[in-house]
């Protein structure tokens, strides 16, 4: 294979990976007998469990999303009985997010689900040496940096208010 053919193979694989991740994120996942959640909901549950007294605004910063987008997901999780909002006693305009007892059990199920997924990935990667995996990781980091530059360039050349969020490297 020529270098250009290899490049085109990688380019197509990246496009396919993006499509598959988008499909994966758009389907609900069963984390236990009681609950089915979308990937974005599972991520929020993890963050709430891992960050005591986190607010919607803080989640938005962590996720590089708008507070409005996070608020919509929190409303869904509250309706499912997973998350509750507790008023900050020192600032009545601020609410902390916590997991309900049911939310704690969903969190534990989500952690187990993630561990199962990671174990599957470990088995798939077992045939590669540590050196090969280190190279693949560096290549992926370079590709991610290029995508980040594209996002930032898009913001500079085609500004759409509120559409692009600057990410830190």
> Residue 160: is its pLDDT beyond 70?
no
Quick one: what percent of the chain has pLDDT higher than 70? 91
Q: Which residues pair with 99 in a beta bridge?
A: 83
The total number of structural domains that make up the chain: 1
What CATH number is given to the structural domain containing 42? 1.10.10.10
Q: Which helix (H) or strand (E) holds 135?
A: helix 130-157
What residue numbers bound the domain in which 125 lies?
3-157
147 pLDDT band, cuts 50/70/90, is confident
Strand, helix or coil for residue 167: coil
Residue 163 forms part of a structural domain: no
Distance in angstroms (rounded) separating the CA atoms of residues 51 and 107: 13
> Residue 57: is its pLDDT beyond 90?
yes
Strand, helix or coil for residue 33: coil
> Residue 157: is its pLDDT beyond 80?
no
158 pLDDT band, cuts 50/70/90, is low
Mean pLDDT computed over every residue of the chain? 89
Q: CB neighbours of 165 closer than 8 A, spacing ≥ 6?
A: 64, 65, 66
> Residue 142: is its pLDDT beyond 50?
yes
Query: pLDDT digit string (tens) for 58-96?
Result: 999 999 899 999 999 999 999 999 999 999 888 888 899
Least confident range from 73-77, 137-141, 142-146: namely 142-146
> Residue 159: is its pLDDT beyond 70?
no
Residue 164 forms part of a structural domain: no
């Amino acid at each position: 294979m020529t270098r250009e053919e290899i490049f085109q193979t990688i380019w197509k694989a990246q496009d396919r990976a993006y499509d598959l991740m988008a499909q994966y994120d758009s389907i609900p996942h069963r984390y236990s007998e009681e609950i089915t959640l979308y990937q974005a909901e599972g991520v929020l549950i993890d963050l709430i469990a891992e960050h005591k007294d986190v607010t919607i605004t803080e989640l938005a910063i962590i996720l590089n999303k708008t507070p409005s987008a996070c608020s919509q997901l929190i409303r869904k999780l509250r309706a499912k009985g997973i998350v509750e909002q507790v008023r900050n006693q020192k600032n009545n305009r601020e609410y902390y997010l916590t997991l309900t007892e049911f939310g704690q059990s969903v969190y534990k199920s989500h952690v187990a689900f993630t561990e199962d997924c990671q174990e599957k990935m470990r088995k798939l990667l077992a045939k590669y040496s540590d050196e090969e995996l280190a190279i693949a990781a560096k290549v992926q980091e370079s590709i991610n940096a290029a995508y980040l530059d594209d996002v930032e360039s898009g913001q500079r050349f085609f500004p759409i208010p509120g559409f692009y969020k600057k990410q830190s490297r």
